[in-house]
Structure 1
Amino acid sequence: MKEVTAKGQTVEEAIQSALDQLQTSKDHTEVVVIDKGKKGLLGLFGGRPAVVKVTLMPDPIDEVKRYLQHICEQWGLEVGIESSQNGKDVLFDLQSEKAALLIGKRGKTLNSLQLLSQMVANHYSDQYINIILDVENYRTRRRETLIHLSERIANQVVKAKKEIRLEPMPSFERKIVHSTLAHHDQVKTYSDGFEPYRSIVISPK
C-alpha cells in the first residue's frame, strides 16, 4: 500500500496535498491526522503546520485481476482479463487458448476460481461485491444447458412419479433450476444437503 505524509496550513490543505501526490480521491484512501496544526500569533509566530498520513487503499477489482493473473501464471497459462461492473456485480471475462483448463469438468475449476476471487474482492472492499468469472461465454452456454436439463428431468419425474436428485452444483446454478421450474404445474424443487455438495431435488407435486 502506498502512503504519503503531507503538511499544510490546515488539515484539509494537508490532505489535498497528499491526494495530489497519490493522484487519487479521498474515497480511495485512509486518512490519519498526525497533527492538527496551530495558528501562530498574528499569523506569524509560534504556528505549526497540520500533518496527515494518507494511505492509498487497494482497489478490490485490481486485486482480483492480480490474483487471477498470478494463478494462471502458476498454471503456465497465458490469459487476457477484461472486467466490467454493474452495481455490485463485477464480471471478469478471461480469454485463453487453453480455456478448457480454466473451465474444468462442468465448470468446477471456474466455479472454484470464482469463489476464491469473491473472497479476495471482499477482503479489500468495505461493501459487498459479487464476482462473476466467465471464459468464452461459458456461463451463457451453461445456463442454457441447465434450463434444458431441468425441463428434461421434470418430464422424467412426471412420467415416473418419483423424485430425482441432480448432481451437486453451486447456489447460482441451483437458482437457474429453481427459476426454470418455479411455475411448473406438476413438479416442485428444493435444495438438499450441505455446501459444497448441496443439490436440487425435483419431485412430483
Structure 2
Amino acid sequence: MEDYIQFSAKTKSEAITKACIELGVSSDQLDIQVITEGSNGFFGIGSKPAIIKVRKVEPVSEEQEMKEIVETVKLDSFKEEALVSVKEEKKPEPVKQEKRETKPVSEKPRQPKPAKEKATKEKQPREPKKDFKESKQIREKAAKPVKPVKPAKPVEIITDPEEIKEVENRAKEFLRDVFASMNLGEVEITSEYNTTDGSLEVDFEGEDMGILIGKRGQTLDSLQYLTSLVVNKGKSNYIRVKLDTEDYRKRRKETLENLARGIAYKVRKTRKPVILEPMNPYERRIIHSALQGNKFVETVSEGEEPYRHVVVKLKRN
C-alpha cells in the first residue's frame, strides 16, 4: 500500500486539484485526509494554507464497476418486490366497532360567539430592505473603470471558390512543413471548407498518427491553434479551423460522455463531489452538455487556465 503524500494550497479544493495534476488521476481515485481546511485570515493577515494527505486508490476495472452497478440495481429491485409482497400478505383485519352509549343532548341551543371585529385599516406592504452587501457591490462596480472589450472578428461564410482554395492551400503548406520537420514521412492531408458554419475541416492520414494526437489530444489542439493563426493572418473575417486524424475527436467525445455518466452515478451513490482532471474549454463543454439534463447532479468549472477543471456534485434541493 502506498504512503500518503502531503499537499498544501490556499484552499482545500486547490490542494486536491494540485494532487490530481501531480499524481495524474481524478479525485475519485484518491484517498484524501484533510489536515487543515485553511483560512483567509483578516485582510490576508494570519491566513493559513489548506493541508491534505492523499494516496492513490487502486482503480476498479470497468467490468467490475458495471457488475457492481448491475448487482446494486438487482438488489434495489428485489427490495421493492419484497416490500410489495409483504404489503399484499398483511391484509388489514376488520376492526370491531364497539357500541358507545350516546349521551343525551341538552336542549339548550348554543349561542354563536361574537365575531372579531375586522381591522379597518389594511396593512400596506413594506418595501423590501436593500441588502447592504448588494448595494456595496453595486457601488464598487460603478467605481471600477470598465475595460473596453475587443470586438471579435465576425464569422462570414466564404463563397468565392478561389478564396476557399487559397485558404486550404495555406493550411496544407503549413502542415506539410511541420510534418517534414518532425520526420513523419508521408502524410495524406485532405481539407474541406464547410459552408454551413464557415469552418475549415482538415484531416490527415499516415503512419504513427498518435504522435500528432499527443496526451489527451494536447498536440493536436496546439497544432490546430497554430494552423488557425496561419489561416486567419491578414483576414478580416474569422475562419474556424478543425484538425482531426483517425476520428480522434469523435472517439474522445464519446469517451468523455461515458466518463461524465459514470462520474454522475458515483456522485449520486456516494453523495460526494468529484473533481475531474484539467481539460480544455471544448472538452469541458462536452462534460457540461452530457450532464445538463441530469436530475441529480450538476457541473461547475473551477480554477484558472491551464488547470481549469470540471467539478461534478449533487444538486441542491
Please give the TM-score of this superposition, normalised by the length of structure 1.
Answer: 0.68
Verify: 1:111 aligned to 2:221, yes or no.
yes
Residue of structure 2 in register with 1:189 after alignment? 299
Structure 1 Cα separation of the partners of residues 210 and 218 of structure 2: 11
CA contact (8 A) 1:90 1:131 kept: yes
Shift of 1:147: 0.6
Q: 4+ runs of 1 displaced by more than 6 Å?
A: none
Structure 2 Cα separation of the partners of residues 186 and 175 of structure 1: 19
Alignment of 1:51-130 (within 5 A): 59-77=166-184, 78-86=186-194, 87-130=197-240
CA contact (8 A) 1:102 1:110 kept: yes
| CA pair 123-195 structure 1, distance change in 2 beyond 3 A | farther
- Structure 1 spans left out of the alignment, 5+ residues: 1-24, 29-57
Shift of 1:124: 3.8
- Structure 2 spans left out of the alignment, 5+ residues: 1-159
Aligned residues: 151
CA contact (8 A) 1:68 1:117 kept: yes
Alignment of 1:21-60 (within 5 A): 59-60=166-167
Q: Which has the larger radius of gyration?
A: 2
3-state SS in 2 of match to 1:102 = helix
**Larger strand percent:** 1
Shift of 1:59: 3.2
Shift of 1:98: 1.2
User: RMSD between aligned alpha carbons?
Assistant: 1.8
Structure 1 Cα separation of the partners of residues 224 and 270 of structure 2: 37
Structure 1 Cα separation of the partners of residues 168 and 282 of structure 2: 21
Q: Percent identity?
A: 41
Please give the TM-score of this superposition, normalised by the length of structure 2.
Answer: 0.45
Correspondence for 2:243 among 119, 123, 133: 133
